[in-house]
Amino acid sequence: MYSDDIRVENSEAKNCSPPVQLVSGRWGLSTLTLYSNSTTCSCNLGYDGNPYLPDGCTDIDECKNPNGNWCSGMTKCVNVPGGYKCDLDKAKITFLSKFLSLDSFFLRNL
């Protein structure tokens, strides 16, 4: 776990389901219904860890792994709780627009 991982309240990081009915059916004159006696939990998408521990699910920083996000080219990956977003990289856009302006200037003056 990284020291700068984002920790959030359990309600955002994990999902727990109450005990559920597993089987219900009739056999002869009897009806049998079986229930799960336990609550099952899992970390939500974008979180990792042990959902049974307090604060056990921590945010995955998709921006630390280049293969963990779809940001590329003119965008910059920004980690947010439970996911990421791709912000436009203004420095790259400014450079590219100046470069394209010079390129079109030279093409017009050929």
Average pLDDT along the chain: 70
Check pLDDT > 60 for residue 44.
yes
On whether the CB atoms of residues 49 and 36 are closer than 8 A, the answer is no
Q: What is the pLDDT of residues 7-16, one digit of tens each?
A: 344 467 777 7
Is 2 a residue whose pLDDT tops 50?
A: no
Q: Are 29 and 35 in contact (CB under 8 A)?
A: no
| pLDDT for position 64 | 93
Residue 5 contacts residue 47 (beta carbons within 8 Å) = no
Taking the model in full, what pTM does it have? 0.54
Q: Range with the lowest mean pLDDT among 28-37, 59-68, 89-98?
A: 28-37
